[in-house]
Structure 1
Amino acid sequence: MEDASISSLLIILLLLIICSAFFSSSETGMMSLNRYRLRHMVKNNHRGARQASALLERPDRLIGLILIGNNFVNILASAIATIICVRIWGDAGLVVATFGLTLVILIFAEVSPKTVAALHPEKIAFPAAFILRPMLTVLYPLVWVINGITNGFLRLFGINIAGNSNENLSTEELRTLVNEAGALIPQRNQSMLLGVLELGDVTVNDIMIPRSEVEGIDLDQEMDHILQQLSATKHTRLPVYQGDINQVIGILHMRNLAQLIQQGKVTKAAIMQVVREAYFIPESTPLQTQLLHFQKQNRRIGIVVDEYGDVEGIVTLEDILEEIVGEMSADSTGINQEIHPQEDGSYFIDGSAYVREINKSLKWDLPTDGPKTLNGLITETLESLPDANVCLRVKDYHFETLQISDSKVKTVRIQRGLPKRKRH
């Protein structure tokens, strides 16, 4: 009879250890669930996700329920193990029960199930939710009392359990999630998502075409020169000004010019009649804001001005979209055409190249909080325009000017790290 009694106790002990493993794995699985993936699955009406989400709405109650169950089965298992060991080994059984059961619970009811739950939280948490929800209903009075005491104790330390934790992701956190998505998001889509996230950090001044490179129609020029310029342009919209680009009259759409050509009325007065009023943009406007303004104003090109109203350049809708999707035309003069790799690992780069585009193309981290172009970065670092070619260092990059003319640095050799010495 005694052997049968011990066998029964061993079966009960085994069941208790299994229950302890269930509670341990449930706790880890529930807390390891990806909350954003869980919300997505709830929207898709996944039954297990719905049950788990309902439990996680009050994590204090969930943890209270699991700990009540886990502590109950562990204490009961300890008592039964002690009875079994005392019956087999006498007084020495107390020591055997203490160390033996501790080792068994640690391995089979704590570390192993929690490790599995951490690796596969959905496979553990969703089935467990169907058991935990009815248990919470049955044991709710006990859970309520324990949580009331616990929450009152935590309030003494200024911890508000009822306060909802902020689960909103910042821009930097979203950027990290996109970067770590790996094969889940194709590289092309990752670049586009990162481009969207960066729109709020970049201003129109960072991507505009500077006034020195703006192609426009000067009505003070001879009509033959204007017609020749119109016939050779590759742009669909051109700013029209009189004498100086600061005297902008409006924007000429080539579609309207085609109508004038059909009517045989291409004159300065006729051009003045079909130009659209110019749209001015402050240079500090974020791209995200300007994209919305373009959409609201039904515009595709704007004149960028500084705080004094002087024209700094122009920006187009295409320029902003290229920040998201990359170059939109194969023949556009993109930054890649301004960067020329050399055999020694250095690069010949045009001085007019934008620092941001250099960083983006070469994965560098040249400073972008100052001048926008490479020429501006060099002159600011030197605090003057060099009379002859010079070498300088910016952060971890070695600069060597190769061509200086017209008060500008035209070409620069840049190498990351220490330059390689030439062998003689």
Structure 2
Amino acid sequence: MNSERFSWLSQWRARLIHWLRPGKTVDELLEIIRRAEAIQSDEQRNMLERMIEFHETRVREVMVPRSEIHAISIDAGFQEVERKMLDAGVNRLPVMEGDIDHVIGAIHATDLVAWHAKGETGTLREYVRRCLSVSELEKVSGLLTEMKRESVHIAVVHDEYGGTAGLVTLSDLLTEIVGEIEETRHASEYSFIEQDDGSLIVAGRMLVEDLAEALDTVLPDGDYDTVAGLVTTHAGRIPHRGECIDIAGLHFLILESDARRILKVRVSPAH
């Protein structure tokens, strides 16, 4: 990776690290962010954590794996491309010549619009856009810089033998920084499921005020918005699956969590 690949993201990260001194390692910086009182919400804290970790992330960690790639043959007609995009729910498809190990480019939904506007003339090959080729071991920060420089939003990820290991898009990389961007809230993430024993299964992203309303109780205020933030703050860290935390007369059992956040919790009266 040459020096041209150092992007605005790397520069911003360097400034952030300098500002957060005395933390020097990634773990120290993450700990400072988790404890910083000036950070007003879980959303802000999560984004800062993702930006710190982004620099160390490899392409294989964010790519769509080979088994989940939706691709189209270069010999396909545009009607088949349209059907494939609709069935897969995607706005671009890698185009392969022969098999998935020979991806020659990509076709975008806007290319279908152009094809219709031109009287539905021309072959798929005439509309294929260039893809980048990247090793699964490359850092995502370098790939983001290359995508920006080359104005290419999709890359084929190759394994050590040169075969196709996966696919990564600009959207995948940006999601690693800002998180999922959703137009509507999914009920499973912002509501609760009541169990036969009276306990509630809630998502970590559920708002504290919504949980308090559901339980007809008062929960402590703090520099957090979500149930995950409430539990993490009182635990002083991110609890592991199976751990229990008692808060304000309630028992919080961690059902799902990862290295960054709590995903699902069972809430019941503390005994």
With normalisation by structure 2, the TM-score equals 0.57
CA drift of 1:278 comes to 2.0
Alignment check: 8 A CA contact 1:209 1:315 kept:
yes
Select the structure of larger CA radius of gyration. 1
What is residue 246 of structure 1 aligned with on the other side?
A: 101
The runs of 5 or more residues in structure 2 that have no matched partner are 1-17, 202-231, 233-237, 242-254, 256-263, 266-271
Distance 2:82 2:32 in 1: 53
Please give the residue correspondences for 1:66-105 in structure 2 after superposition, counting only pairs within 5 Å. Answer: none
Superposition map of 1:267-282 within 5 A: 270-282=123-135
- Change in Cα spacing, 1:170 to 1:185, as seen in structure 2 (3 Å) is farther
Q: 1:308 aligns with which of 161, 184, 198?
A: 161
Alignment of 1:146-295 (within 5 A): 169-221=24-76, 224-230=79-85, 232=87, 234-266=89-121, 270-295=123-148
Identity over aligned residues, as a percent? 27
Cα deviation for residue 220 of structure 1 reads 4.6
Aligned counterpart in structure 2 of residue 317 of structure 1, from 156, 170, 179: 170
CA distance 1:205–1:229, change in 2 (3 Å): same
Paired residues of 2:57 and 2:140 also in contact (CA < 8 A): yes
1:296 lines up with 2:149 in the alignment: yes
Instruction: Find the residue that maps to 1:304 and give its secondary structure.
Output: strand
Equivalent residue, structure 2, for 1:94 = none
- Measure the CA separation in 1 of the matches of 2:116 and 2:57: 40
Q: Between the two structures, name the one with larger relative contact order (CA 8 Å, sep ≥ 6).
A: 2
1:326 corresponds to which of 172, 175, 179: 179
**What is the count of residue pairs matched by the alignment?**
188
Q: What is the CA distance between 1:197 and its match in structure 2?
A: 0.5
The residue identity in structure 2 corresponding to 1:304 is V
What's the RMSD between the two structures over aligned residues? 3.8
Structure 1 residue 227 displacement after superposition: 4.0
Taking structure 1 as reference, are residues 341 and 318 closer, same or farther at Cα in structure 2, changes over 3 Å only?
Answer: farther
**Letter of the 1:319 counterpart:** D
> Which stretch of the first structure deviates more once superposed, 190-199 or 235-244?
235-244
- SS of 1:240 mapped into structure 2: strand
Counterpart-to-counterpart distance in 2, 1:298 and 1:239: 16
Q: Please tell me whether the aligned partners of residues 218 and 226 of structure 1 are also in contact (alpha carbons under 8 angstroms).
A: no
Amino acid at match of 1:242: E
Q: How far, CA to CA, are the matches of 1:198 and 1:299 in structure 2?
A: 24
* Aligned CA distance change for structure 1 residues 277 and 299 (closer, same or farther; 3 Å): closer
Greater strand content: 2
The whole-number CA distance in structure 1 between the counterparts of 2:184 and 2:67 is 21
Give distance in 2, aligned partners of 1:208 and 1:341.
32
Question: Does the 8 Å CA contact 2:78/2:124 hold for their aligned counterparts?
Answer: no
Higher helix share: 1
SS in 1 for 2:70: coil
- Tell me how far 1:242 sits from its aligned partner: 2.6
Q: Give structure 1 regions of 4+ aligned residues with deviation exceeding 6 angstroms.
A: none
Q: Alignment partner of 2:181: what SS?
A: coil
Cα distance, 1:193 vs. partner? 0.6
Cα distance in 2, alignment partners of residues 248 and 191 from structure 1? 35
